[in-house]
Amino acid sequence: MKARVKWVDGMAFMGETESGHALIMDGAADIGGRNLGPRPTEMVLLGLGGCTAIDVIFILKKARQPVEDCWIEIEAERADSVPKVFTRIHLRYVVKGGALDPKQVERAVKLSAEKYCSVSHMLNKSAEITHEHVLLRGDEASQAEPA
């Protein structure tokens, strides 16, 4: 796997992936950034969320579970001193589907966390990673949708 990061100007950088995708990352205003894109550390959290979400959906679809929606809310804490690595990360999986088997959802989350998510395995070298899952069905789902 290869990637390339090229300075644009100020504290903005263009990240390009081997798969042909590109995005802008930018630093905070107090270091010369202009808020043109996410911070690199935010992207690490998005990478974690994306990696584990792909696992969970893949596992549930393979088990023929009727998933209607899925999102992961991620909260993280960082060290106070440099390097400000993540020290704690909590993932809250919200999986929606009226006919989902709760045991299959629990199994999918557990398999991703303990076996498949490579980003999680990299981050758990510095951070305590915890997770929980919520299964939404019917009317309760409309009240809990992310904005």
DSSP 83: S
Kindly state the average pLDDT of the residues 21-41.
96
Q: In terms of domains, do 92 and 112 share one? A: yes
- Residue 114: the pLDDT is 96
CATH of the domain at 12: 2.20.25.10
**Domain span including residue 15:** 1-37
Instruction: Give the pLDDT confidence of 8-27 residue by residue, as tens digits.
Output: 999 999 999 999 999 999 99
Neighbouring residues of 1: CB distance < 8 A, sequence distance ≥ 6: 18
Q: In terms of domains, do 137 and 88 share one? A: yes
CATH of the domain at 80: 3.30.300.20
CB-neighbour burial class of residue 117 (10 A; exposed 0-12, middle 13-18, buried 19+): buried
Kindly state the average pLDDT of the residues 99-104.
96
Q: In terms of domains, do 75 and 108 share one? A: yes
Q: In the chain, how many domains are there?
A: 2
Contact 37, 43 (CB under 8 A): no
Per the structure block, which two tokens stand in for 24? Answer: 């802008």
